Structure 1
């Protein structure tokens, strides 16, 4: 029996561009038992798929360490996602309900090896840059070059040797890395090109330029490392939102404990103005919660008993007691960071194409440089020194650094920008694919609607609306039925007093009875009420009209006379219509696919202005999605993350809608953390902005190289501008990608 392979994730220090991934990937793949390696430079993580041998982990970490400047630390295994539980958002006593949706797990492609290598043996890109080994080397090379210049001015006959020594200070580490890269199967690394160019320039007497080029290369690498560190910190900064300590209630006492030590079910106290230390559910109190740091929600929300809160959000004006619902390593922020890091290990189709293209690009440039150096002197009698110099400059222009980093830098920034706004996408392929969708199929309950009914109409037959609500709430006190909760919530919101009820009893499938203020009350469905008394024709007509609007109706009887009716409906989210209009404006056609009854579905659809397909089984939804695809549409399927997996699996992109549930965050292609319909159009906009950024980056990378290639052959530019074309393009591409972190979508 063959044992199944397992995956282990590692935190890797010291890498900050795709070439680092090449070096590490090639080395780790040589460890016996390793089957596959996926590396995310921007996240600083590596996932290794390997056999069951317990010693492989140590071997992997040792192999990474032998490369010099890198270190790998195994990350703790992730807890398995909880199984999806069926969720019912009941729409009424006599109405059906729509099932939510289950996400399909999508595994992105493994990260492919990049095809060029840089000098990244200088340790982790953290802390002050001038204290890092890379910074120290760059400063040392710069100071040595300055001394060589002064010495050359004072003693000209020593200038050649002084500049040679200055060049060697930086070139020796580069040459060492070039040899390592070659032994790992990457002979056309930028280190190798640098060594050839520097040695060639020294041979033809351009020692000063060779030393300056080495220094400029080190400066470019240093700037790239700083930029990569900032990009990585943009998502890791989320972890600092969670406070270090929490006020734990235990044994009747409150004590300050580390937030990381909080266990499931613990009770914590959160004072006004404090950051919430854990994901939890409010047990006592009511307050305004500022969720902007986590979800990007600009408007604070007032929350009360039974409602969820996220770690890292800010408590406003009330004291809250919370029950912890997630351990520190699995709270919302931790999951966001983990998901984005894993997403960055999965390459987008464009990124994989650029990687493949660069395999041929660098060797072709190397051949071109050789031809430029040799053919003019041989065929046209050109000066060897002049044309060799031009060939060496073309070598440096040929580095594919900016080209290879153009896509992953933009993808990483796009994923991070989305995560900071509560838009989670699992990988570059998902981020890229969202921009090309032309149709979107949405579930109703919990997606377009809030997922819980609300009281919409209070129609008293005697007394006033407040009296009707007071009597109904008295009967429903203590019930957990969705309609009962809707009535109780409305009574609390309206400030209606709720008298005590006696002898309350639930009548299965019919309603509830009890005595309030000496009266015998019954609250239940119209059918059950008609079994007790004949409803007046006018009131029956009103009930039929409310049912026609997709509302559930409960009838209140007092001593077997009609006291009034209460209508409820799972209402659309506040931004649902605006969100759907934004999707239409972006060229995406929305449609509602619901298992709910046709009357309810069409009522919501009419209010939102979108077509409806109702009374659907899971296989019906899958069939409709496939029919849309056959017509040439790219389809996204949106649900609340509970069931209905066939349709999600059939769609091009599956999106979970909801407040960060385990199922939604663990299994969807993408997730909208705070459940706003408008965020679906923001996802599309972010995807399109990212793809536009990638096109800009590719244009910058190839455009600068084309310009300097022509000017070098014409003799206008030389070695200095050549290395600036490489390092400058790399820095420009990285800076352009980082604009996505602050883009308004």
Structure 2
């Protein structure tokens, strides 16, 4: 099997899918190229090829069409280590087991491995130049801006000279026409040689030359100017669409305070390596992904996750490049280079998603391949048949044929889908919702059933103390003694007790002779008293509990809570009940999905009693005691019924079901597995982002339908008015460029979603 490599480039000057189609066809003709993916919305091109790629040939091809070509810059969309040919296996084990006597119930899913392997080569360096872009500066400083201004000035000058010398006015307008039409015609013939004979530039060139033939030079020059203005507006709109994601890269500071040998010095942030230690002062942006090794502070992660409330983080917590440190001084150990930090990966994932064509976009592309030649044929028949068959005026019908050529340009139609999808993907990314492509976005809009994991998805993934029962001792004393026994333990239930004690301002006393009792509980001596903290089953084997206590415990167990009893000197004095409670927004999120006509289902490996209690709280159907293979089977059964299914999980224990679903959605934290294996990822662990994601996808599809209606509707109206003689060349070009600008601006509304 022949291996292929992948080279990635930035292409400047693309404003619409028509631009991308010309580049696509030209590059595919280069020897050795097996596939090309061009995205005008993000200005990128990915070329897959067997063997080395001839950089000089590629440069000439793209530059002859009026576009610039440069390697994809480091740190935004450069291939990661795995993408450069290294096979990476992500192995994720089950939730840690603990030999602890609290008889806790959690999901116990099996291990899974996810391995990816792809081969890519570094992009070819040394490519340069562009002919056609808006660029980063003001529009009037770009080549396209200068050409438009030059054509406008030439037309005004021709009009003025025509008033002074009426007998030679046609010559002046012809000269003005050539100023604007010359570069357009050159691009048209270059596109024709590269395999795109029916480009908008070719249609414009034919129409302008035809107008000169019938002595409509003034109108031809004006039409070309309007065309250039339309292209300029398209470029400005396209650039605005790209800036939403590009702005993420700008969040990372240029410099960092690197600590070496006890001293701090300023270095470029892009030079930081894993293992380096950096100082982050209050108010600074973090220069790299890392782990806090000293200090604590509130971290503003709004730029990363859309979460408006700063998050408190201390030693051992993960932090991300571009987020803002609050009022504390931090020392951070770098865990990722600039090319592989969270922002770089998000930018890369969004760009790759925008490069992938949605089904609707693929259909529109195929349709336009037939549509444009058909328009040329209709224009030709309009110009020829009425004079031949009905004795019509040759000049009048030839003029109408030229107008139809301009009306038929498919620019607005072919950009209607990618512009909307690019805006939706960018809007989602800014809110911490990553969607991997238009296909996923379209599928999300049609989802009928969403299956949720429980632990870590609908619930927070960590138990909390919900009840403290007193059998004679004060509640504060029960908590104080229980916290003393659990001090130093990393078990989730122990952490819940210690957290509750800390929140209450309780300082646990010292324990003497503390010991774990081999799966039965924990014991020790505190202040001269013998303590035992264990499950009801263990305690009842040591001492009688009594019917009243057993009844209280039964009620808590029915509510899905884990109960631990505290005994002092051989007598039960109290109990603590713990549960992994639902996330605060889970109930409202599930209700919102129901309002949108989406059915919800919980699939969990937890036991039926605990799962049923959580399901009753949330109002969701429950399937419990499931292995990963069982979850996958249920998802496949739903799909076999003809239903569109999404699966929401933590991206680790739900891999089989996530892969089996029509859309797999990983929730929480932005872990590597969440970013790389699922179809969509919710970086901020909010269940409320699931209905928000559905809303975004549905708005995007509605926007696409609006765009297609505008594009085809305007063309239909002006086609009729042209045939009956109400409109001519000027309205025709306004119909085309106006529709393109309207479609683009409508798509940009999604950026505000």
Normalised-by-shorter TM-score class: over 0.9
1:408 matches 2:414: no
Q: Please give the alpha-carbon distance, in whole angstroms, between the structure 2 residues aligned to 1:324 and 1:506.
A: 37
Q: How many residues align?
A: 729
Q: Aligned-pair distance for 1:229?
A: 0.7
User: Structure 2 vs 1, CA of residues 255 and 493 (structure 1 numbering), >3 Å: closer, same or farther?
Assistant: farther
Query: What are the Cα deviations for residues 186-218 of structure 1, in whole angstroms up to 9, with x where unaligned?
Result: 111111111110111001000000111111111
Contact 1:14 1:71 in 2 (8 A): no
User: Structure 2 vs 1, CA of residues 500 and 54 (structure 1 numbering), >3 Å: closer, same or farther?
Assistant: farther
Contact 2:26 2:195 in 1 (8 A): no
1:88 matches 2:95: yes
Contact 1:693 1:737 in 2 (8 A): yes
In structure 1, the residue matched to 2:502 is: 492
1:72 to 62, 70, 73: 70
Note the residue ranges of structure 1 that are not aligned, 5 or more in a row: 108-119
Q: Aligned-pair distance for 1:449?
A: 0.6
Contact 1:99 1:445 in 2 (8 A): no
User: Structure 2 vs 1, CA of residues 490 and 348 (structure 1 numbering), >3 Å: closer, same or farther?
Assistant: same
In structure 1, the residue matched to 2:126 is: none
Q: Aligned-pair distance for 1:717?
A: 0.9
Note the residue ranges of structure 2 that are not aligned, 5 or more in a row: 83-87, 118-129
Q: Name the SS of the counterpart of 2:635 in structure 1.
A: helix
In structure 2, the residue matched to 1:180 is: 190
Worse-superposed segment, 358-367 or 256-265: 256-265
Q: Name the SS of the counterpart of 2:577 in structure 1.
A: strand
Worse-superposed segment, 353-362 or 9-18: 9-18
User: Structure 2 vs 1, CA of residues 268 and 212 (structure 1 numbering), >3 Å: closer, same or farther?
Assistant: same
Q: Please give the alpha-carbon distance, in whole angstroms, between the structure 2 residues aligned to 1:390 and 1:742.
A: 41
Map 1:146-165; keep pairs closer than 5 Å.
146-165=156-175
In structure 2, the residue matched to 1:275 is: 285
Map 1:601-616; keep pairs closer than 5 Å.
601-616=611-626
Q: Please give the alpha-carbon distance, in whole angstroms, between the structure 2 residues aligned to 1:489 and 1:623.
A: 38
1:353 to 354, 363, 368: 363
Q: Please give the alpha-carbon distance, in whole angstroms, between the structure 1 residues aligned to 2:404 and 2:52.
A: 48
Q: Aligned-pair distance for 1:67?
A: 4.3
1:8 matches 2:7: yes
Q: Aligned-pair distance for 1:497?
A: 1.0
Query: What are the Cα deviations for residues 15-41 of structure 1, in whole angstroms up to 9, with x where unaligned?
Result: 222122222222322333322111221
Q: Please give the alpha-carbon distance, in whole angstroms, between the structure 1 residues aligned to 2:528 and 2:260.
A: 44
Q: Aligned-pair distance for 1:354?
A: 0.8
Q: Please give the alpha-carbon distance, in whole angstroms, between the structure 2 residues aligned to 1:476 and 1:467.
A: 14
Q: Please give the alpha-carbon distance, in whole angstroms, between the structure 1 residues aligned to 2:578 and 2:273.
A: 38
Q: Please give the alpha-carbon distance, in whole angstroms, between the structure 1 residues aligned to 2:472 and 2:332.
A: 41
In structure 2, the residue matched to 1:204 is: 214
User: Structure 2 vs 1, CA of residues 557 and 591 (structure 1 numbering), >3 Å: closer, same or farther?
Assistant: same
TM-score (norm 2): 0.92
In structure 1, the residue matched to 2:121 is: none
User: Structure 2 vs 1, CA of residues 701 and 42 (structure 1 numbering), >3 Å: closer, same or farther?
Assistant: same
Q: Name the SS of the counterpart of 1:379 in structure 2.
A: helix
Q: Please give the alpha-carbon distance, in whole angstroms, between the structure 1 residues aligned to 2:113 and 2:363.
A: 28
Q: Name the SS of the counterpart of 1:298 in structure 2.
A: coil
1:740 matches 2:750: yes
Query: What are the Cα deviations for residues 234-266 of structure 1, in whole angstroms up to 9, with x where unaligned?
Result: 111111222223334444444443333333344
Q: Name the SS of the counterpart of 2:626 in structure 1.
A: coil
Contact 1:426 1:669 in 2 (8 A): yes
Map 1:445-460; keep pairs closer than 5 Å.
445-460=455-470
User: Structure 2 vs 1, CA of residues 669 and 157 (structure 1 numbering), >3 Å: closer, same or farther?
Assistant: same
Q: Please give the alpha-carbon distance, in whole angstroms, between the structure 2 residues aligned to 1:703 and 1:507.
A: 77
Tell me which of the two structures has the higher relative contact order, counting C-alpha pairs closer than 8 angstroms and 6 or more residues apart: 1
User: Structure 2 vs 1, CA of residues 297 and 559 (structure 1 numbering), >3 Å: closer, same or farther?
Assistant: same
Contact 1:351 1:407 in 2 (8 A): yes
Contact 2:90 2:113 in 1 (8 A): no
Map 1:94-109; keep pairs closer than 5 Å.
94-99=103-108
Contact 1:39 1:345 in 2 (8 A): yes
Q: Name the SS of the counterpart of 1:297 in structure 2.
A: coil
Q: Please give the alpha-carbon distance, in whole angstroms, between the structure 2 residues aligned to 1:241 and 1:735.
A: 26
Query: What are the Cα deviations for residues 419-478 of structure 1, in whole angstroms up to 9, with x where unaligned?
Result: 111111000000111011111000001110111111112224353222222222223222
Q: Aligned-pair distance for 1:279?
A: 3.0
1:318 to 328, 332, 355: 328
In structure 2, the residue matched to 1:538 is: 548
User: Structure 2 vs 1, CA of residues 477 and 268 (structure 1 numbering), >3 Å: closer, same or farther?
Assistant: farther
Q: Aligned-pair distance for 1:54?
A: 4.2
Q: Please give the alpha-carbon distance, in whole angstroms, between the structure 2 residues aligned to 1:311 and 1:580.
A: 33
2:634 to 624, 629, 639: 624
User: Structure 2 vs 1, CA of residues 48 and 87 (structure 1 numbering), >3 Å: closer, same or farther?
Assistant: farther
Query: What are the Cα deviations for residues 311-345 of structure 1, in whole angstroms up to 9, with x where unaligned?
Result: 32333343344443433222222221111100001
Contact 2:524 2:531 in 1 (8 A): yes
User: Structure 2 vs 1, CA of residues 257 and 55 (structure 1 numbering), >3 Å: closer, same or farther?
Assistant: same
In structure 1, the residue matched to 2:29 is: 30
User: Structure 2 vs 1, CA of residues 646 and 319 (structure 1 numbering), >3 Å: closer, same or farther?
Assistant: same
Map 1:465-504; keep pairs closer than 5 Å.
465-504=475-514
Contact 1:410 1:690 in 2 (8 A): yes
User: Structure 2 vs 1, CA of residues 660 and 62 (structure 1 numbering), >3 Å: closer, same or farther?
Assistant: farther
Contact 1:103 1:643 in 2 (8 A): no
Q: Name the SS of the counterpart of 1:8 in structure 2.
A: strand
In structure 2, the residue matched to 1:18 is: 17
Q: Please give the alpha-carbon distance, in whole angstroms, between the structure 2 residues aligned to 1:498 and 1:264.
A: 38
User: Structure 2 vs 1, CA of residues 359 and 36 (structure 1 numbering), >3 Å: closer, same or farther?
Assistant: same
In structure 2, the residue matched to 1:708 is: 718
Worse-superposed segment, 3-12 or 693-702: 3-12
Worse-superposed segment, 461-470 or 383-392: 461-470
In structure 2, the residue matched to 1:290 is: 300
Q: Name the SS of the counterpart of 2:468 in structure 1.
A: strand
In structure 1, the residue matched to 2:689 is: 679
In structure 1, the residue matched to 2:652 is: 642
In structure 1, the residue matched to 2:582 is: 572
Map 1:544-559; keep pairs closer than 5 Å.
544-559=554-569
Q: Aligned-pair distance for 1:690?
A: 0.5
RMSD over equivalenced CA pairs, Å: 2.4
Worse-superposed segment, 323-332 or 215-224: 323-332
Q: Please give the alpha-carbon distance, in whole angstroms, between the structure 2 residues aligned to 1:459 and 1:434.
A: 46
Q: Name the SS of the counterpart of 2:285 in structure 1.
A: coil
In structure 2, the residue matched to 1:46 is: 45
Q: Please give the alpha-carbon distance, in whole angstroms, between the structure 1 residues aligned to 2:181 and 2:139.
A: 20
